[in-house]
Amino acid sequence: MSGFHRQSKRQKALKERELEIEAHWARGTNSKGLPVLADELLLEILSYFPPIPLPTATQNSVDTSAHVSRCEALRALSTASSNLRRFFRPYVWERIEVCAGCPAGESVLAYGLGKQGDKEFAMELIKQLEIVTIRDPCLADQVR
């Protein structure tokens, strides 16, 4: 009788472990919703966040709020799942830009702050360059 009792405890423990593993994989795999959309539909979503034109000698005004909104939206989308990361990450890093209104750590970059403001702009630029060259060199291919 004790052999039967030991066997059932072992079987029960194995069954519980199997259920834990199944629950873990069910939580970790997103097989519904936005992450499983085809690339064509993701491109349609991306079209709502058009790239901001580069400033030129004749047109140097930049809509920084649109630029910041686009970057934040694409970063948020790229962190939602591995498929969205694969798709949106190249668009997040297609340009290295630092402008007034861009978040830099816990502050927001602004003009007219003198040397301290210039230092913050330079540090943000260095941070972005470090990301694409040292931390994740495969991003360097994405920068145009």
Model confidence at 103: pLDDT above 70:
yes
Residue 93 domain-assigned (yes or no):
no
Between 13 and 90, whose confidence is greater?
A: 90
Mean pLDDT confidence for 39-61: 80
Residue 143 domain-assigned (yes or no):
no
Residue 73 domain-assigned (yes or no):
no
Domain total in the chain: 1
Residue 7 domain-assigned (yes or no):
yes
Of 126, 23, 47, the closest CA to residue 118 belongs to 126
Work out the pLDDT band at 42, boundaries 50, 70, 90. very high
Q: Model-level pTM?
A: 0.64
Residue 61 domain-assigned (yes or no):
no
Work out the pLDDT band at 26, boundaries 50, 70, 90. low
Domain holding 2, by residue range, is: 1-30
Q: What are the start-end ranges of the E strands in 37-126? A: 103-104, 107-108
Work out the pLDDT band at 95, boundaries 50, 70, 90. confident
How far apart are the C-alpha atoms of 107 and 121, rounded to whole Å? 11
- 10 Å CB burial of residue 88 (0-12, 13-18, 19+) is buried
How far apart are the C-alpha atoms of 29 and 11, rounded to whole Å? 27
Residue 16 domain-assigned (yes or no):
yes
| Contact (Cβ atoms closer than 8 angstroms) between residue 129 and residue 121 | no
Model confidence at 130: pLDDT above 80:
yes
Tell me what the pLDDT averaged over the chain comes to.
Answer: 78
Place of tokens 């519904």: 32
Residue 24 domain-assigned (yes or no):
yes
